[in-house]
Amino acid sequence: MEHGYHVAIVGATGAVGLELLSILEERKFPVAQLSLLASKRSAGRRLVFAGEEFPVQELTEGSFQRVHFALFSVSSSISKAFGPIATRAGAVVIDDSSAFRMDPDVPLVVTEVNPHALRRHHGIIAHPNCSTIPLVMVLNPLHRRARVKRIVAATYQSVSGAGARAMEELDQQTRALIASEPAEVRVFPHQIAFNCLPHIDAFGEMGYTGEEWKMVRETHKILEDDSIRMSATTVRVPVFRCHSEAVNIETEQKITPHEVRQLLTTAPGVVVIDEPEKSQYPMPLTVAGRDEVFIGRIREDPSHDRAINLWLVADNLRKGAALNMVQIMELLSAENGR
């Protein structure tokens, strides 16, 4: 017990919470004590970690006594309410919501891109959006080599990004439609099975959604460069796991597809699969369950002499969420920072 950490998972019964349990066990993070926290409705459920059953407890103000790390995967309103309570109790909070991402005093961290930002945390570390993480992992080496000037991105985001209920809805709608029965719509504004919804988060400024602005503003903060111009269109697709993105990247200096492949082949956490003539390119079907960001379809933009097009796929529940949170915790524990 004395050789590990007391870890609390807030939102333990959700899609990311369950993935956190799996990754903590898989990576053998030294968990000496585990607190599984959720709403009153979920309290009493039992979840398995390392072969042992743990009860889910109701999240309260007293839930964080002697907790070293509190991993939050809940709504931003709950994070805002309970995150400061956890830090006052002495825990380091790693928060997966949008609550603290744009707070200038809170680091927004992708471990392969800006781990140095962890040094200035004051008890709360923000975790980026699940579409921003794979994008900045690709942009970072290109930005260092040729300076990224402008990005146009279209995302194809799986339903798991909207949580476990959204996954259930896709499953139920698909079964119903195949059986020639009506599809019930509860989680999304329209049927998601056999459909695409260009609507993630609320519509707002300039007709863009919150999800689209998150990608822009988080990219600026993580890469520490507000001069990068960026436009995003985020789309929900009928896929259970993995977000895909079609990205056009304009650079200040010309960079060839060959150079891009070389840079990304050596980038941490990135795998290049780019043999389209052999039908070899990343797909959600083959990337699900993998930790890396997969890149393919790297090619010149015929309409611009200093732009590259590429395709990326990453498991949004792993690197897009739970894995990056655990990696942040690993870096902090290695430095004895808490």
Second-level CATH architecture of 132-158+196-315: 2-Layer Sandwich (3.30)
Residues 6+ apart with CB under 8 A from 236: 157, 158, 159, 161, 162, 188, 192, 196, 197, 199, 200
Q: Give yes or no: 130 in active site.
A: yes
Catalytic residue among 130, 196, 258, 304: 130
Angle at the Cα of 90 from the Cα atoms of 87 and 94, rounded to 5 degrees:
50
In this prediction, residue 336 carries a pLDDT of 63
3-state secondary structure the chain: CCCCEEEEEECCCCHHHHHHHHHHHHCCCCEEEEEEEECCCCCCCEEEECCEEEEEEECCCCCCCCCCEEEECCCHHHHHHHHHHHHHCCCEEEECCCCCCCCCCCCECCCCCCHHHHHHCCCEEECCCCCHHHHHHHHHHHHHHHCEEEEEEEEEECHHHHCHHHHHHHHHHHHHHHCCCCCCCCCCCCCCCCCCECCCCCECHHHCEHHHHHHHHHHHHHHCCCCCEEEEEEEECCCCCCEEEEEEEEECCCCCHHHHHHHHHCCCCEEECCEHHHCECCCHHHHCCCCCEEEEEEEECCCCCCEEEEEEEECCCHHHHHHHHHHHHHHHHHCCCC
Q: Give yes or no: 68 in active site.
A: no
Residue type, 211: E
User: Residue 131 and residue 147: Cα distance in Å, rounded?
Assistant: 21
In this prediction, residue 286 carries a pLDDT of 97
In this prediction, residue 212 carries a pLDDT of 98
Backbone phi, psi, residue 231, to 5°? -135, 135
The domain segmentation of the chain, as residue ranges, is: 5-128+321-334, 132-158+196-315
Catalytic residue among 6, 68, 127, 243: 243
Task: Express each pLDDT in 61-113 by its tens digit.
Answer: 999 999 999 999 999 999 999 999 999 999 999 999 999 999 999 999 999 99
The 293-300 sheet, strands edge to edge: 229-236, 148-157, 243-251, 307-314, 293-300, 270-272
pTM, entire model = 0.94
Q: Which residues in the chain come in under a pLDDT of 70?
A: 1-2, 336-338
Task: Express each pLDDT in 235-265 by its tens digit.
Answer: 999 999 999 999 999 999 999 999 999 999 9
In this prediction, residue 1 carries a pLDDT of 38
- CATH code of the domain made up of 5-128+321-334: 3.40.50.720
Question: Residue 253 is encoded by which pair of tokens?
Answer: 């200096």
In this prediction, residue 334 carries a pLDDT of 86
